[in-house]
Structure 1
Amino acid sequence: MKKFVKAAAVTVAAAAALVSGNAQAHGIWFAQRATQLALVYGVGADDLDALKRWPLVTHMAGYDAAGKAVSATLEPEGKLLVVDLQSQPAIVTAVLDNGTWSRTPDGKWHKKGRNEVPDSQMSEKTFKYAVHLRAPLAAPLQPLPEQTLQVLPVEAKLPEQLGQAIKLRVLYQGKPVAGAKVLQDYVNDPDATPVLSGADGTVTLKVRNQGLNVIVAMYEVPSEESAKYDHVEHLASLSFVLAHKPE
Structure 2
Amino acid sequence: MKLPRILAVTVAGSALLAMATPLSAHAIWFAQRATQIALVYGVGADDLDAVKRLPLIKTVTGYGADWAPVTTSLRAAGPIPVVDSEEPIAAVAAIMDYGLWSKTPDGKWHNKGRDEVPTATLAEHNWKYAVHLAKMPTGPVPLFEGHKLQIVPVDPAIPQKMGEPMKVRAYYEGKPLAGATIMSDYVNDPDEVAVKTGADGTATITVRNQGLNVLMGIYVGPADDKAKVDHVEYRSSLSFVLPHLPE
Fold equivalence (TM over 0.5) = yes
- Deviating beyond 3 angstroms after TM superposition, the runs of 4 or more aligned structure 1 residues are none
Q: Which has the higher helix share?
A: 1
Provide the secondary structure at the position in 1 that maps to 2:99.
strand
Partner residue of 1:20? none
Show CA shifts across 1:227-247 (max 9, x none).
211000111000000111111
Q: Is the 8 A contact 1:71 1:89 kept in 2?
A: no
Partner residue of 1:146? 146
Provide the secondary structure at the position in 2 that maps to 1:137.
coil
The CA deviation at 1:184 is 1.0
Show CA shifts across 1:117-160 (max 9, x none).
12211010010000000112121112112211100111111111
Whether 1:108 and 2:108 are equivalent positions in the alignment is yes
Whether 1:185 and 2:181 are equivalent positions in the alignment is no
Show CA shifts across 1:19-73 (max 9, x none).
xxxx951100001112211000111111011011101000110112222211221
Alpha-carbon RMSD: 1.5
Question: Distance in 2 between the 1:125 and 1:224 partners?
Answer: 8
Partner residue of 2:244? 244
Provide the secondary structure at the position in 1 that maps to 2:52.
helix
Question: Distance in 2 between the 1:227 and 1:233 partners?
Answer: 16
Question: Distance in 2 between the 1:213 and 1:142 partners?
Answer: 19
Question: Distance in 1 between the 2:32 and 2:77 partners?
Answer: 13
Aligned residues: 226
Provide the secondary structure at the position in 1 that maps to 2:54.
helix
Question: Distance in 2 between the 1:106 and 1:197 partners?
Answer: 34
Show CA shifts across 1:194-221 (max 9, x none).
2111111111111001111000001111
Q: Is the 8 A contact 2:150 2:172 kept in 1?
A: yes
Partner residue of 1:64? 64
Bigger CA drift: 52-61 or 217-226? 217-226
Using the aligned pairs only, state the percent identity. 53
Aligned AA for 1:176? P
**What pairs with 1:1-247 in structure 2 (closer than 5 Å)?**
24-247=24-247
User: 5+ residue gaps in structure 1?
Assistant: 1-22
Aligned AA for 1:236? S
Partner residue of 1:14? none
Partner residue of 2:12? none
User: 5+ residue gaps in structure 2?
Assistant: 1-22
The CA deviation at 1:85 is 3.8
